[in-house]
Amino acid sequence: MNWGWLLLRIVLGLTILTTVFLSQRFWYRAIWRSTARWRSSWLRIAARLLYCFALVLVLLAVAGGFHMGSHGHLKQRDAVLAIFSGLWLSSAFFAFLFVALVHGVERVWNWLRPDFRAQRPAVAPLPSSHAPVERLRDPSRRYFFRTASVLAGATPFFSCMYGFAAERLNYQVRRIEIPMANLPPALDGMQIAQISDIHLSGYMSRTDVRRAVDMTNDLGADLTVVTGDFITGSSDPIADCIEEVSRLHAPLGVWGCNGNHEIYAKAEDAAQQLFTQFGMKLLRQENAQLTFRGAQFNLIGVDYQRERNVDGHRQQMLANMDGLIRRDIPNILLSHNPNTFNRAAELGIELSLGGHTHGGQIQVEILDHRLTPARFISDYIAGLFERPLFKPSGEVLISREPDLPTSHPRPQAARLYVNRGLGTVGAPVRLGVPPEISLIVLRRV
């Protein structure tokens, strides 16, 4: 057992839970203080009871999960509750952090002011009031920080509503030409449609998935792949998701791999069986030789690759791959976790297709720097990346934006494309990272 890794996970978990608790306590007290000024007692009581009722619903949803209906479908009320809970918890969490940040800046600002420090009472504050201290503060600065606090508290709520209503289901098709090492002339121009991270759940309905499937079919790709995370949790109906996925069609078939949420839901075997039932193929540490225009390529698929074992120790990803990789024809790897790319490049796999990150799901650009939570889990957030083939992972990494043409491609480079996914996790929100359907066009170097 790796006790250091276990302790780190416990500390991180407790930190998150504590922050969530503090955020809810903050808004509870803020609502009580605000309603205390209302003249109508019955209106004040009604508002407080409504808040308590909503908070109880959120807590019940978080504690008990969201249950399916009697026929294996998500009930409408569960979906509404899931969306409401996710929006409230995420908005309240970030609003609390932003307000706390503003208050912290205000305290530091006041502490750094020489006149404020010099004129503070040396022994004890006056018993009557804090008026002498308040008079030392500049009213304009006080007004500025109050306004900043209001804006800091309101911005996450409005941003989450926009991310839920506008960007969450704004599916975008991204066409990217990827130069591929060792590509035969006959495979030049072959098109691969990729979708990933569907997450059919209370946040994503079958109707939403069906629309994405129809858009994917309209691309007319030669091959279609689905790179994991069909559902979010064990209570989500994976049969519904894969039934919608089965509507995909392509001349070379529909292929897929499992993601980490299939592990959490204990649905890896069920996903494989459903793929087979609907005439598709889910590759689980397997490969298949496909032929296009008389030329062959090797399609490999793996279950989600963990970077640490159950004891917390680091382990090698893509182990025991020797029998799956071909040296005489190009290889394409379906791996949900993009962090397998380092090892895939070392093994000589020319192209990897992944997902998992959702592109960060929320992305903010500040001073030409893109900030996203996904930076904590991967260097491969979204788009196209390349590394030298058969080289250790310490070699220089080159990242390319997917909207730009690739110039001067390396003839012997492994490449990875990370799809931004369709669904959401944690909160039903996307900001700056719209859901993606990829159309990948292979090009000969």
Query: pLDDT by residue (tens digit) across 306-347?
Result: 988 766 678 889 999 989 999 999 999 999 999 999 999 999
* Upper half-sphere CA count for residue 344 (Cβ side, 13 Å): 30
Alpha-carbon gap, residue 379 to 337, rounded angstroms:
11
Instruction: Give the mean pLDDT of the chain.
Output: 84
| Distance set, CA 48 to CA 57, 83, 150, 306 (Å) | 14, 22, 21, 46
pLDDT of residue 146: 83
The tokens describing 211, both together, are: 């629309």
pLDDT over 70 percentage in the chain: 82
Domains, the chain, ranges and CATH? 3-166 (no CATH), 172-444 (3.60.21.10)
Alpha-carbon gap, residue 112 to 22, rounded angstroms:
27
- pTM of structure: 0.81
Is-contact 74 83, C-beta < 8 A?
A: no
| Distance set, CA 411 to CA 22, 180, 408 (Å) | 54, 8, 9
Q: Are strands 436-444 and 172-180 parallel, antiparallel or unpaired?
A: parallel
Answer whether residue 42 shows pLDDT above 70. yes
Alpha-carbon gap, residue 270 to 256, rounded angstroms:
13
pLDDT over 90 percentage in the chain: 47
Average pLDDT over residues 1-10: 68
Per the model's pLDDT, the better-predicted residue between 362 and 438 turns out to be 438
Q: Which residues, listed in sequence order, are joined to residue 282 by a DSSP beta bridge?
A: 256
Is-contact 409 145, C-beta < 8 A?
A: no
pLDDT in tens, 179-206: 999 999 999 999 999 999 999 998 899 9
Alpha-carbon gap, residue 429 to 217, rounded angstroms:
26
Is-contact 152 95, C-beta < 8 A?
A: yes
